[in-house]
Amino acid sequence: MKPWWIVVRKEVLESLRDRRTLLSALVMAPLFGPLMFSFSMQTMLKRGLDEQDKPLQVAVMGKEHAPNLVHWLESQGLEDVPAPKDVASIPAAVRDAKPRLVLVIGPDYGKRFRAAKAAGVKVYVDSSDQDSQRDFRRLDQLLQNYSSQTSALRLAARGVDPGIAQPVMLDEIDVSTPASRAQSLLAILSYFLLFSTLIGGMYVAIDATAGERERGSLEPLVSLPVSREALVAGKFVATMAFSGVSLVLTLASFAISLRFVPLESIGMSANLGPKVLTGVFLSLLPFVPLAAALLTLVASFARSFREAQSWMTGALLVPTLPIMVAAMTGMKPTALLMAVPSLSQHFLIARLLRDEAVPLTDGLLSAGGSLLLTGVLLVFVVRLWRREKLLG
């Protein structure tokens, strides 16, 4: 047996006996992520659907000045709720979301409306609250509809073609498919998968380096006639094994739990068939050695288990950075970006979920970029292991 393989077997055996390692690699990441994801998605979807059917609750002040408008709004699903007692108390009430929206119609509304002048109304809204914002958009849409209907009638009454007031007419043609609509929601899925790949190997990496140093077992280990490269290789491969298993379990767990999310109800399909699953797995496969190399490097810096743990929280965020930057700047996949680890995997997964064809070159670029970085990180790990400071 080669020394590195002996090290792998020992690290795996030891980790399998450590409840904490086992829990994080084989239970926490694969179960927690997908469950949380599916659950939050389910509640989000349900809420979205419920809100559509709910009446729009608005407190209307000055109803008597615009009975026609109020009547029309009520016919469109607006529910009039009790208004605050005076104008001064409106802001505080709206901030408390009691009610979320207040529509104030002034006493000169009627006069201006009849004179065909722009008649103003005020809407109080707390834009820092998501629910209020959504309600406001609905009310805004209603008011605009009323406005354009009225203007069309006025123009027609004056013998003018209403089209003259509408130089450009927008006609939206939605070409999204159910799968592509789901994609925006499933975009975070790639992050969950990258994350659990890292979590899976985390404790093995810490145990095999910082933990070994803390227990004082590293000293006898380096007194053996085994090269430091062989030791690093063994610890790296053991970490990789746990990361890989965690990834597979998480994928399987997603495939199962997403079936219970009512994506179809909003015209989306989860599209996690065997073919897509295989594609996602293959896309993420080159990330496994990269994750293991990153974890081993970070753990090799730390002197103790605790120190390693706090370093790790930072390491877990590293793969999110490229994805976040790309999302904020709206980057599209290019050859250069396809070589960026974690981002390229994110792009590949997004395309697979959209049911788009993925060019082989993109897959190879992504794998190549990840493996190259793995090599670079491993060179640094071996250098760290050759330093005398390693032993403290």
Partner 1 sequence: MIHVTGLAKRFGTVEAVRDVSFTAPDGRITGLLGPNGAGKSTTLRLLYGALTPDRGEARVDGLLAGPEHTEARRQLGVLPHGAGLYPHLTARENIRYFGELHGMSGATLEKRIDELVAMLELGEAANRKTQGFSQGQKVKVGIARALVHSPRNLILDEPTNGLDVMAIRSLREVLRGLRAAGHCILFSSHVMQEVAALCDDVVIIAGGRVIASGTPEQLREQAGTTTLEDAFVKLLGSETAEVQS
- State how far the Cα of 57 lies from the Cα of 60, in Å rounded to an integer: 10
- CB nearer partner 1, residue 75 or residue 223: 223
| Joined tokens for residue 101 | 């929206």
First to last CA, the chain: 30
- State how far the Cα of 61 lies from the Cα of 102, in Å rounded to an integer: 7
Q: How far is the CB of 233 from partner 1 (least distance, A)?
A: 13
Tell me what percent of the chain is helix, strand and coil, each rounded to the nearest 5: 70, 5, 25
Q: How far is the CB of 217 from partner 1 (least distance, A)?
A: 4
- State how far the Cα of 60 lies from the Cα of 67, in Å rounded to an integer: 11
How many residues of this chain bind partner 1 (CB under 8 A)? 26
Q: How far is the CB of 23 from partner 1 (least distance, A)?
A: 14
- State how far the Cα of 110 lies from the Cα of 108, in Å rounded to an integer: 6
Q: What does the DSSP assignment read for 38-52?
A: HHHHHHHHHHHHHHH
Stretch of 14-22, 129-137, 166-174, 288-296 lying at the interface with partner 1 (CB under 8 A): 14-22
Stretch of 4-12, 39-47, 245-253, 350-358 lying at the interface with partner 1 (CB under 8 A): 4-12
- CB nearer partner 1, residue 222 or residue 324: 222
Question: Residues 84-123 vs partner 1: string with x where CB under 8 A?
Answer: ----------------------------------------
Q: Is the peptide bond before 34 cis (omega within 30 degrees of 0)?
A: no
- CB nearer partner 1, residue 221 or residue 372: 221
- CB nearer partner 1, residue 194 or residue 204: 204
Q: Output DSSP code: residue 117.
A: S
∠ CA 201-246-235, rounded to 5°: 30
Number of H helices, E strands in the chain: 17, 4
Q: How far is the CB of 210 from partner 1 (least distance, A)?
A: 14
Q: How far is the CB of 198 from partner 1 (least distance, A)?
A: 23
Stretch of 10-18, 92-100, 280-288, 347-355 lying at the interface with partner 1 (CB under 8 A): 10-18
Binding to partner 1, residues 368-387 (CB under 8 A): 386
- CB nearer partner 1, residue 122 or residue 215: 215
Residue 18 touches partner 1, criterion: CB under 8 A: yes
Q: How far is the CB of 244 from partner 1 (least distance, A)?
A: 21
Binding to partner 1, residues 208-267 (CB under 8 A): 215-228
- CB nearer partner 1, residue 165 or residue 391: 391
307-319 burial string, b = 16+ CB within 10 Å, else e?
ebeebbeebbeeb
Report the DSSP beta bridge partners of residue 57: 79
Q: What does the DSSP assignment read for 339-353?
A: GSTTHHHHHHHHHHH
Q: How far is the CB of 26 from partner 1 (least distance, A)?
A: 16
- State how far the Cα of 384 lies from the Cα of 392, in Å rounded to an integer: 12
- CB nearer partner 1, residue 105 or residue 218: 218
Q: How far is the CB of 199 from partner 1 (least distance, A)?
A: 20
Report the DSSP beta bridge partners of residue 56: 78
β-pairing verdict for 102-105 and 121-124? antiparallel
- State how far the Cα of 136 lies from the Cα of 99, in Å rounded to an integer: 12
381, 234 contact by CB (below 8 A): no
Closest CA to 323 of 293, 305, 345: 345
Question: Residues 176-215 vs partner 1: string with x where CB under 8 A?
Answer: ---------------------------------------x
| CA dihedral angle for residue 334, residue 335, residue 337, residue 338, rounded to 10 degrees | 110
- CB nearer partner 1, residue 281 or residue 305: 305
Binding to partner 1, residues 276-315 (CB under 8 A): none
- CB nearer partner 1, residue 21 or residue 250: 21
- CB nearer partner 1, residue 5 or residue 260: 5
Interface residue list for partner 1 (CB under 8 A): 1, 3, 6-7, 10, 13-14, 17-18, 215-228, 386, 388, 391
